[in-house]
Amino acid sequence: MLAAGEGSALVDQEIAVVVLLGIAAVVAVFAARVRFPYTVALVITGLFATGLGEVVQVSISPDLILFLLVPPLLFEATLHLPWFKLRADLVPILLLALIGTLVGTLGLGALVNITLGVPWAAAFAFGALISATDPVAVIAFFKALGAPKRLAVLVEGESLFNDAVAVVAFGLALLAAGGDGFSLGDALAEFVIVSAGGLAVGLGLGYLVSAVFLARVDDPLIETSTTLALAYGSFLLAEEFGQLIGEPDRHFSGILAVVAAGLMVGNVGLDNTSPSTRLTLERFWELLTFLVNSMVFLVIGLSVRLDELLGHLGEVAIAIVGVVVLRAVLVYGLTALAGRLQPTRRIPSAYRHVMLWGGLRGAISLALVLTMTSDTFDQETIDTVTFMTFGVVLFTLLIQGTTITGLMRRLGLSHKADSELLQQQHQARIHMARAGQSEIARLGADGVLAGDLADALTRTYQRDVGRRSSELRGHLGRFPELEVAMLLQARREALTAERTSLADIVRSGLIEISVAEELSVELDDRMAVLDLLGDRWESDPVPTFDRGEPDGR
């Protein structure tokens, strides 16, 4: 049995979780009714929930955020991130994630050192932890806003990859502060080792799960449980890798390990699963993401003390101005450079505006700043960096987060147009009616339903399908540009079906692996061309479309 003290602590933790989830549910209902960003509402609730301190004992620690809350959110995000889309825009993503984060670290570090007198090591530590856009915050916002697919890939891709750079730079700043010396060559070598090691761990475990469990085990519960173990296991193995090889100080990037594992499962593993397993898996991760997101943003709100923050408004203001200005310089400059390197993949101006304002900070920044201790810095320096971090996080979430919806709508990038939603309703009703018609035909053929009843119901469904099809044709006549999206989507579904068929043929042993790899590359190229056409239409829609093959064949 548990000791009395342990039992009491366990009950307190259970009460805290129940209260927080209850608050999250109430806030979700309220936010949906008033059309307010759910995550922002959670942060505001946490900020002003001062009375919860007597009921909810929340221990805000970096381990809680990084090891418990972040991995499932990163994994779920990459689970639905197509590799061919990420590969198509890898140049701007890596420019922003690598050069952008490093320049941001140096620039912000120099700013707070010169203007506020923060020691160099602490200044660069602040520059590192605040330069990385937080994937937890960014992904939550973009899902809620219904951002265009390419824009979402650009922003999410940057936020998923730049954390490795930020964490390594932050660690080097702490190392320099501890008096162990600093070398640019050693720093670059450390970055390469940490990043490559994290990617290798994630890809290896992701492939193992995809090729063994998802391909050979036909059980939705087991397969879903395996992906959960993969999300946490890849992060833990990467971070604690040194323990396995007898070098406790050696660790890899857990964030990159989770990202790589999620990409592997999303682009390989899901093709190996049955439709029922895939549905179960997606529903599970959707629920888990909602729960963890609720905890993350409530924790952010609960961790900030507004009364103490007010005493550091000057430092906070300098940090906010520096973050926004430097973000603007880096986004516009590096995307312009990417456009020169890839003239066919230029990023529209509207996307660049959203990439600037969508550079949100959140859980990652808080987790890193909480690791700063008096063993390395004096308490005054820690307080200054902590309050600057809290201030920037609140500004990006409460100001940028509440205004980005208006910006995207003004730029024509937020949500689907009413005409497109109505088109999807027509298509869904046609699919539903045809499914019902097929089921009635099966019941009649099996003798479960009397022949005359089956014929009568079949005719009813036929009339319904005809009426819905006529309504869809009329709608497309009024909005001819929608036919472009329908053709592109139909071609994507056809190529996805081809990919699934190829996987089935490989598993059956009908073709050699070398042949399958060649055909897979061909499918990737066709999908990339199709995606390029979709991006061009998305940024500059036209009312007509060539009805020939839209994938370049």
Nearest to 170 by CA among 109, 114, 118, 115: 109
**CA pair distance 191, 166, nearest whole angstrom:** 10
Nearest-angstrom CA–CA distance, 2 and 419 = 60
Over residues 447-467, mean pLDDT = 82
Check the CA dihedral 538-542-548-553 and report its sign.
negative
**Better-scored residue on pLDDT, 491 or 221:** 221
- Residue 352 is predicted with a pLDDT of 93
Angstrom distance (rounded) from CA 73 to CA 92: 23
Tell me the average pLDDT across 324-329: 95
Q: Would you state the structure tokens that stand for residue 9, as one six-digit string?
A: 């602590």
Residue 547's pLDDT is 39
Q: What is the DSSP string of 327-374?
A: HHHHHHHHHHHHHHH-GGGPPPHHHHHHHHHT----HHHHHHHTT--T
Average pLDDT, the chain: 80
DSSP H/E element including 487: helix 482-508
Which has more confidence, 327 or 301? 327
Q: Can you give the pLDDT at residue 260?
A: 92
Point out the least confidently predicted range of 108-112, 199-203, 264-268, 309-313. 309-313
Is the separation of the CB atoms in 388 and 112 below 8 Å?
A: yes
Q: Stretch 497-509: mean pLDDT, rounded?
A: 76
Task: Determine what percent of the chain is predicted with pLDDT higher than 70.
Answer: 85
Q: What is the pLDDT of residue 420?
A: 66
Residue 202 CA to residue 256 CA, distance in Å, equals 7
Rounded Cα distance between 526 and 125, Å, is 44
Query: How confident is the model at residue 2, as a pLDDT?
Result: 46
**What interhelical angle do 513-539 and 482-508 show, nearest 10?**
170
Q: What is the DSSP string of 24-41?
A: HHHHHHHHHHHT--HHHH
The pLDDT assigned to 144 comes to 65
End-to-end CA gap in the chain: 69
Cβ contact 266:81 at 8 Å? yes
pLDDT score, position 517: 76
* Sequence-distant (≥ 6) Cβ neighbours of residue 471 within 8 angstroms: 426
Residue 181, pLDDT > 60, answer no
Mean pLDDT across 429-448 = 81
What pLDDT is attached to residue 56? 58
- Note the pLDDT tens digit of each residue in 264-304: 998 888 877 777 777 788 889 888 888 887 887 887 777 77
Q: Report the pLDDT value the prediction gives residue 499, as an integer from 0 to 100.
A: 76
Predicted pLDDT at 537: 55
Instruction: Give the 3-state secondary structure of 375-418.
Output: CCCCHHHHHHHHHHHHHHHHHHHHHHHHHHHHHHHHCCCCCCCH
H-type alpha helices, 54-134: 62-63, 70-79, 83-88, 90-94, 101-116, 120-131
Q: Where are the domains of the chain?
A: 13-410, 417-479, 481-553
Side chain identity at 504, as an amino acid letter? D
The residue-averaged pLDDT of 92-112 equals 93
Predicted local distance difference test score (pLDDT) of residue 430: 82
Among 1.20.1530.20, 3.30.2310.20, 3.30.70.2190, 3.90.230.10, what is the CATH number of 13-410? 1.20.1530.20
CA dihedral 253, 258, 262, 263 (to 10 degrees): -10
pLDDT mean over 522-542: 64
- Does the pLDDT of residue 333 top 90, yes or no? yes
Is 239 in a helix, a strand, or coil? helix
Mean pLDDT of 418-427: 71
Mean per-residue pLDDT, 46-60: 63
Q: What's the rounded mean pLDDT across residues 211-227? A: 85
Long-range contact pairs involving 488-492 (C-beta distance under 8 Å, separation at least 24): 488/530, 488/533, 488/534, 488/537, 488/550, 491/530, 491/549, 491/550, 491/551, 492/527, 492/530
Q: Which two tokens stand for residue 286?
A: 């959707």
Quote the DSSP letter at residue 66. I
- What is the model's pLDDT at position 8? 61
pLDDT at 51 > cutoff 60 = no
Tell me what pLDDT residue 338 has. Answer: 93
More reliable by pLDDT, 335 or 298: 335
Q: Is the dihedral of CA 161, 165, 167, 168 positive or negative?
A: positive
The whole-number pLDDT of residue 315 equals: 92
pLDDT for 548 beyond 50 = no
**Best-predicted range by mean pLDDT among 72-81, 122-131, 245-254?**
122-131
Per-residue pLDDT at 545: 40
Q: What is the pLDDT of residues 119-132, one digit of tens each?
A: 988 999 999 999 87
User: What's the pLDDT score for residue 184?
Assistant: 66
CB of 174 closer than 8 Å to CB of 121: yes
Scored b (16 or more CB within 10 A) or e, 18-35 reads: ebbeebbeebeeebeeee
Residues of the chain with pLDDT > 90, as a percent, come to 20
- When pLDDT is cut at 50, 70 and 90, the band that residue 77 belongs to is confident
pLDDT of the residue at 321: 95
Burial of 217 (0-12, 13-18, 19+ CB in 10 A): middle
pLDDT at 60: 64
- In the block, tokens 């259970």 appear at 14
